[in-house]
Amino acid sequence: MRGRFITFEGIDGAGKSTHLDWFADALRARGATVLRTREPGGSPLAERLRALLLSEAMSITTEILLMFAARQDHLDTVVGPALARGDWVLCDRFTDSTFAYQGAGRGAGSEHIAMLERWVQAGLQPDRTYLFDLPPEEAARRRAGARAPDRFEQEDLDFFGRVRAGYALRVQQDPARFVTIDARQDIAAIRAVLQGSIDTLWA
């Protein structure tokens, strides 16, 4: 059985992490061998780059290059080998986040990111991306109850509005890859949507 590369996307607080473990278990119940990972990070070197990205001030160009340096190592040492084994890879954020956060949120535009995407991914794209779509105001309320903010999560509502729009543009450009989830729903309703979409992954 061929593995699949599945990514979860959405602004901070939209519910990605809440649903990842459950989704991994649902896939395992269907017989898949699942590797759960995240970006930036997911390999020892990339996790060290993540720590820098989440804490240090840097230029937008440096930020984009570090993101893709981390991504290259993660793909080379973790994601690529897992997919080659036939495992299912479930990743919390991937390149759509770079387009949405650095490209749209920070205003870097998509040109250089698209160039790095072609170079680093060499044609690899997720088989499916679940986009958790939530208004920034509600995401901020949920985050406030949950954790201390990192460097990205300290951004204001306008920033997350641009990130959300950046994600919407990615969906427009590749609609077949995305399942957009209205994350205003409660957790049980979202699980039902995810459960309902699992069968189509075997198609």
Ligand X SMILES: Nc1ncnc2c1ncn2[C@@H]1O[C@H](COP(=O)(O)OP(=O)(O)O)[C@@H](O)[C@H]1O
Write out the residues near Mg ion by the rule CB under 5 A. Answer: 16-17
Q: Produce one character per residue of 64-100: b if its CB has 16 or more CB atoms within 10 Å, e if not.
A: bebbbbbbbbbbeebbeebbeeebbbbbbbbbbbbbb
Q: How far is the CB of 158 from Mg ion (least distance, A)?
A: 21
142 makes contact, choosing from Mg ion, ligand X, none, with CB < 5 to 8 Å by partner type, with ligand X
160 in Cβ contact with 139 (< 8 Å): yes
54 in Cβ contact with 152 (< 8 Å): yes
List the one residue out of 152, 123, 129, 130 whose CA is nearest residue 140.
152
Distance of CA 22 to the CA centre of its chain: 16
Taking contact as CB under 6 A, which single stretch among the options 72-80, 165-173, 185-193, 195-203 is the one that binds ligand X? 185-193
User: Which residues does 43 contact at the CB level (< 8 Å), separation at least 6?
Assistant: 73, 74, 77, 78
The smaller minimum CB distance to ligand X, of residues 188 and 203, is found at: 188
The smaller minimum CB distance to Mg ion, of residues 18 and 102, is found at: 18
Residues in 89-148 at the binding interface with ligand X, rule: CB under 6 A? 132, 142-143, 145-146
Given 5, 6, 10, 98, the residue binding ligand X (CB under 6 A): 10
The smaller minimum CB distance to ligand X, of residues 21 and 158, is found at: 21
Cis omega (within 30 of 0) for bond into 126: no
Work out whether 190 is an interface residue with ligand X (CB under 6 A): yes
Tokens linked to 183: 């994350």
Taking contact as CB under 6 A, which single stretch among the options 9-17, 38-46, 49-57, 193-201 is the one that binds ligand X? 9-17
Per-residue x/- mask for ligand X, residues 139 to 178, rule CB under 6 A?
Answer: ---xx-xx--------------------------------
Tell me the C-alpha distance between 148 and 138, whole Å.
16
Binding site for ligand X (CB under 6 A): 10, 12-18, 132, 142-143, 145-146, 183, 185-187, 190
